[in-house]
Amino acid sequence: MQGRFAPAWKPCWKWCINRKRRTSAIGHGNPEMHRTRYEQRDTRDTKMSDIKIVNATGLACPQPVVLAKQAIETNDKVKVIVDNDTALENVQRLGTKLGCDVKVEKNSDGNYEIDLARKAGAPLPAQDVSVSCNASADASGPFVIVCAEDKMGRGNDELGAVLIRAFLHTICLQKDKPDVMIFYNTGVKLTIQESEVLDDLKELAAAGVEMLVCGTCLNYFELKDKMGVGVVSNMYDIAGTMSKASRLLTP
């Protein structure tokens, strides 16, 4: 019995001895090599931990922007993952507004990875201004016109369409033009390429009027590809602009 098993046992015994010697050489004979490997691994882990990951896929507007802003307030580098074009544009605009370096990459899942990096010496993003309970508005705030419908007034829709065209054309002729115009709900229909007021809105935009068009509303009415003027915006920017307005006009 001993003769039969000896050939198989002896090579195994030699292998164990050789393995022990090699392990000893790495762990004890060359401790610098052993420590360097761990130091390299720790360095990589530190670099990864410097980037704050914000997974905003599946979140409704304006959550991706809100989460991105919260993250960049406490981190120098943030990677925001979103799954639609509207969220991509909103986060990109936020990064630019905050003075960040912005890089975008589309991953294999079809999601967008947006890298935001605060530039050296750039100040932290300003905190949101608290809503004042005073009756008087801040005189330094913007003059804002809000178009929540594609008509003016209630009652007769045909008459309402005539009135909104007249209103916007009149705004073009006035010297006192708004700083910002906001379009949401059916009001986004005023900004599309087939709109009868598109020329007036383009003239206002050329005069420096900022136009914020609700991205959620464009998607709801399937009009995003038909937008003819303005920038796709979100409720975070819309609500913030309205709350800071010195004058807020809704036709």
pLDDT, one tens digit for every residue, the chain (251 residues): 455 555 555 555 555 555 555 544 444 444 444 444 333 333 333 344 588 999 999 988 888 998 999 998 889 899 999 998 888 888 998 888 888 999 999 998 889 999 999 886 555 555 443 333 333 444 578 999 999 999 999 889 999 999 999 999 999 998 899 999 999 999 999 999 999 999 999 999 999 999 999 999 999 999 999 999 999 999 989 999 999 999 999 99
Four-way CATH pick for 143-249: 3.40.1260.10, 1.20.120.430, 3.40.50.10140, 3.90.1150.10: 3.40.1260.10
Going by C-alpha positions, the residue among 136, 193, 201, 129 that lies closest to residue 165 is: 201
User: How crowded is residue 190: how many other Cβ atoms within 10 Å of its Cβ?
Assistant: 26
What is the structure's pLDDT at 86? 85
Residue 240 tokens, joined: 């913030």
Going from N- to C-terminal start, the domains of the chain cover 49-118, 143-249
For the CA atoms of 90, 92, 95, 97, the dihedral, rounded to the nearest 10 degrees, stands at -70
209 near 177, Cβ under 8 Å? yes
Pairing status of strand 180-183 against strand 210-214: parallel
State the Cα–Cα distance between residues 166 and 19, nearest whole angstrom: 89
State the Cα–Cα distance between residues 239 and 218, nearest whole angstrom: 17
Task: Give the list of residues 6+ apart from residue 240 with CB closer than 8 angstroms, or none.
Answer: 128
Going by C-alpha positions, the residue among 211, 141, 131 that lies closest to residue 171 is: 211
For the CA atoms of 186, 191, 192, 193, the dihedral, rounded to the nearest 10 degrees, stands at 150
Give the domain 49-118 fold. Answer: Translation Initiation Factor IF3 (3.30.110)
Same fold? 49-118, 143-249: no
Residue 89 tokens, joined: 């544009």
Task: Give the list of residues 6+ apart from residue 111 with CB closer than 8 angstroms, or none.
Answer: 57, 81, 82, 83
pTM of the full predicted structure?
A: 0.58
Residue 151 tokens, joined: 């008509």
State the Cα–Cα distance between residues 186 and 177, nearest whole angstrom: 23
